[in-house]
Structure 1
Amino acid sequence: MAKKQQEAPDALDAEDSREITSPILDEVIGYALRRAQLKVFQHLITKLEAFDLRPAQFTALTLIEQNPGLMQAELARSLAIEPPQMVIMLNKLESLGLALRIRCKPDKRSYGIFLSKTGEAVLKQLKDIARSSDIEATSALTAEERTQLLHLLHKIYR
């Protein structure tokens, strides 16, 4: 005999646009940081799509620019990603013509990472895009509030 399906209690309608929240989550800094990060990153992701890049790849390019010859393992640690994921990311950056891996003379097993000339030019554009995206995504804040927020965030992670 077939079981009769039970009806779900009043479930949320997929069209329902009300915010789903919990009072305890409104008091948890990590949750608020994550929600804000998602909003800011989603805005940046949309802007970077034209370049076929993601925020982590933009971050990698900026770190490579500031640290030419950076080793793959160092970059992976800075980005908090596993070495195999770093290889995938560098393959992508190389395929786009933005970065180069050059064998180190002292240790022929190691490669330094550098921006290509194209990478340098594209990164200039990306920095402007990232700055404007950041300002647009945080438009609810005044300039003073943005400065204060950055100061407080730096205080947490530095």
Structure 2
Amino acid sequence: MRRAQLKLFQNLIGRLSAHDLRPAQFSALAIIEQTPGLMQTDLAKALAIEPPQVVPLLNKLEERALAVRVRCKPDKRSYGIFLSKTGETLLRELKQIAVDSDLDSTSALDNQERHDLLRLLKKVYQS
């Protein structure tokens, strides 16, 4: 399983590098899209990283105008994270890149085998 994961991951890394992005940044954009306004600590939990590691990741996304931190009104010390329009546009493209990467990496499988693989991986993930 580890070898297969590495093959998939390397394929995706190669494709994301054309956009000067790393998989963690792509994942962060997707999580922010799913949960607009989430806090940095929530993003850290979703990415399974330590909260201090989120700061440089978000700084890079903000530098590229892909995400913005907005001060929360009730607690002015907290910031909600949102995708920018540029981030939304890029994420749509990145999602297609991820799909293409997965299809390319599993090209030796037919549609039923790919469906079965995804079903089984989901079962492993949820256990």
Band the TM-score falls in, shorter-chain normalisation: over 0.9
Amino acid aligned to 1:71: M
Q: Please say if 1:77 is aligned against 2:49.
A: no
Instruction: Give the match for residue 53 of structure 1.
Output: 21
Structure 1 segments, 4+ long, off by >6 Å, are none
What TM-score do you get using the length of structure 2 for normalisation?
A: 0.95
What TM-score do you get using the length of structure 1 for normalisation?
A: 0.77
Instruction: Give the match for residue 124 of structure 1.
Output: 92
- Separation (CA, whole Å) in 1 of partners of 2:105 and 2:50: 29
For residue 136 of structure 1, report the CA deviation from its aligned partner: 0.3
Give the structure with higher Rg (CA). Answer: 1
Which ranges of structure 1 fall in alignment gaps of 5 or more residues? 1-31
Determine helix, strand or coil for the equivalent of 1:51.
Answer: coil
Instruction: Give the match for residue 151 of structure 1.
Output: 119
Instruction: Give the match for residue 38 of structure 1.
Output: 6
Q: What percentage of residue pairs aligned between the two structures are identical?
A: 67
RMSD (CA atoms)? 0.9
User: Which of the two has greater helix per residue?
Assistant: 2
- Separation (CA, whole Å) in 2 of partners of 1:122 and 1:74: 22
Within 5 A, what are the aligned runs for 1:94-109? 94-109=62-77
Which ranges of structure 2 fall in alignment gaps of 5 or more residues? none
Q: Please say if 1:89 is aligned against 2:48.
A: no
Which structure's relative contact order is higher, taking Cα pairs within 8 Å and 6+ residues apart?
Answer: 2
